[in-house]
A and B are shown apart, each in its own frame.
Chain A
Amino acid sequence: MTAQQQRSRGGYLERPAPSGLADVIEVILDKGLVIDAYVRVSLVGIEILTIDARIVIASVDTYLRFAEATNRLDLYEHGGKDLTEALGDLQEGGASKKTSGAIQGAKKALTGGGKDEDEKRRPAKKSSSRSRRREEA
């Protein structure tokens, strides 16, 4: 085995144990073979992570979240151009662009949704579906 093929000991890759993880649990609720008549689930006391896929979909709501996150940044923490230089580049390039895109964006309906910018938690569903056999009994 060459040095390149040896497993990196850097330890950058997280390798959690599969059992007990929230994301594995969601998979077993959503995936796998189904026998319709006999599925019975009654979730109790489980916080289901609602993955907010809307965050990544283009919408005014998404843009506002990105703007907010961008505004909160502390730019001077790292190296690279500082703001003065960045602004200087722009001034040399001429007038700033008209924000016509924003008006188009503002016409789209807000998708609504929670204040969390990442995953939302909601309380456990307490639904249960009994098997058909029982209902017919």
Chain B
Amino acid sequence: MIEAYYVYGVLPAGVRTGERVASASLGGTVRAVEAGPLAALVEEIDDERDLGTREDLVAHSAVLNEVAETTTVVPLRFGTVLPGTAEVTEELLNLRREELLDILDVLRDTMQFNLRARYQLDDLLREVVLANPEIAALRERVSGMPEDAAYYDRVRLGEIVAGEVASRRDQEAQDLLDALAPLAVEHTVKEPSGMDHLLDCAFRVRQDRREDFENAAEEQAERFAGRAHLRLVGPTAAFDFVPET
């Protein structure tokens, strides 16, 4: 076996990661390689090994999220493999030292949460139809016609409904952000994902505001009960708040 080193992330030197990540790994032992003020979280693997099974992805995520609970860590994208510890220290820790220290500085004592809110789509559409006589009438007309004949009417119906959904979504997504963003250091709104999309947002939250943030998210979930479902993932390592290059 030719050795290689899988790299999970970078953290301050001298921090003990020990037992916390013992249960999560690519099959071996996660350890730290230090250089100056920084340390890389690595695991020795076979250089021939393909990386990309579900277990591999889960390991990457699990190791970093476990570490992030107690220590600031700069997560790497999945799949970084260096040929030796010399490269780990030279090409990562030393070469990019200033950059890494800056990122650690920014991320210090914060953690990421991801909120995804989705409408109960049928309830939302029902609300829209019942609040708009024009929509109701158009819908009625369309349902009585053969599919070809109704094409333009269907497009028009869909356009009006989509517009109504969009304006509710814009307002309610903003309401959610108004409730949660003040409790976070920063946030990134993510790409929409489907007709029932309400909000998908990553938040970076200080440790000492974590409970407030989680409570506020729970309150919002209750406020939207029956109309939208809220899901909060975290705390995780700050993947969304690390510059990519």
Interface residues of A (CB under 8 A from B): 5, 7-8, 10, 12-16, 18-21, 23-25, 27-46, 51-53, 55-56, 58, 60, 62-71, 73, 75, 77-78, 80-81, 83, 86-87, 89-90, 93, 96-97, 99, 101-103, 105-106, 117-119, 128, 131, 133
Q: Could you pull out 22 A-B pairs where Cβ atoms are within 8 angstroms? A: A7-B214, A8-B218, A13-B231, A15-B231, A18-B236, A30-B77, A31-B75, A33-B103, A39-B77, A46-B52, A46-B57, A53-B193, A56-B166, A62-B162, A66-B125, A68-B154, A68-B158, A71-B143, A83-B140, A86-B136, A96-B137, A99-B153
B: number of interface residues (CB 8 Å): 96
Q: Which residue of A lies closest to B244 (CB)?
A: A34
Chain B, 89-142, CB within 8 A of any chain A CB: 91-92, 103, 114, 116, 121-123, 125-126, 128-130, 132-140, 142
Is A29's CB under 8 angstroms from B61's CB?
A: no
Is B233's CB under 8 angstroms from A21's CB?
A: yes
Given the known inter-chain contacts A41-B51, A117-B195, please indicate yes or no for A16 contacting B65, CB distance below 8 A: no
B195 interface neighbour in A40, A56, A101, Cβ under 8 Å: A56
Complex Cα distance, B91 from A78, in Å, reads: 63
Q: Which of B12-20, B26-34, B222-230 forms part of the interface with chain A?
A: B222-230
Is A32's CB under 8 angstroms from B215's CB?
A: no
Is B195's CB under 8 angstroms from A55's CB?
A: yes
Is B58's CB under 8 angstroms from A8's CB?
A: no
Given the known inter-chain contacts A10-B218, A33-B10, A102-B153, please indicate yes or no for A65 contacting B195, CB distance below 8 A: yes
B82 close to A (CB within 8 Å): yes
Is A10's CB under 8 angstroms from B138's CB?
A: no
Is A20's CB under 8 angstroms from B58's CB?
A: yes
B177 close to A (CB within 8 Å): no
B146-183 toward A: CB 8 Å interface, digit per residue (1/0)? 00000111111111011001100000000000000000
B46 close to A (CB within 8 Å): no
Complex Cα distance, B49 from A41, in Å, reads: 10
- Which residues of B lie under 8 Å from residue A41 when comparing CB positions? 51-52, 78-79
Interface residues of B (CB under 8 A from A): 7, 9-10, 24, 50-54, 57-58, 60-62, 64-65, 74-83, 87, 91-92, 103, 114, 116, 121-123, 125-126, 128-130, 132-140, 142-143, 151-159, 161-162, 165-166, 191-197, 211, 214-215, 217-222, 224-225, 229-236, 239-240, 242-245
Q: Is the interface of B mostly helix, strand, loop or mixed?
A: helix
- Which residues of B lie under 8 Å from residue A20 when comparing CB positions? 58, 61-62
**Would you give the shortest CB distance from A67 to chain B, in whole angstroms?**
3
**Would you give the shortest CB distance from B83 to chain A, in whole angstroms?**
6
A40 interface neighbour in B81, B154, B231, Cβ under 8 Å: B81
- Which residues of B lie under 8 Å from residue A31 when comparing CB positions? 75, 77, 239-240, 242, 244
**Would you give the shortest CB distance from A1 to chain B, in whole angstroms?**
10
B138 interface neighbour in A5, A36, A51, A96, Cβ under 8 Å: A96
- Which residues of B lie under 8 Å from residue A78 when comparing CB positions? 123, 126
Is A73's CB under 8 angstroms from B51's CB?
A: no
Complex Cα distance, B199 from A123, in Å, reads: 27
**Would you give the shortest CB distance from B49 to chain A, in whole angstroms?**
9
Is A89's CB under 8 angstroms from B236's CB?
A: no
**Would you give the shortest CB distance from A77 to chain B, in whole angstroms?**
7
Is B240's CB under 8 angstroms from A70's CB?
A: no
Given the known inter-chain contacts A14-B231, A34-B77, please indicate yes or no for A87 contacting B194, CB distance below 8 A: no
Given the known inter-chain contacts A43-B52, A86-B137, please indicate yes or no for A67 contacting B155, CB distance below 8 A: yes
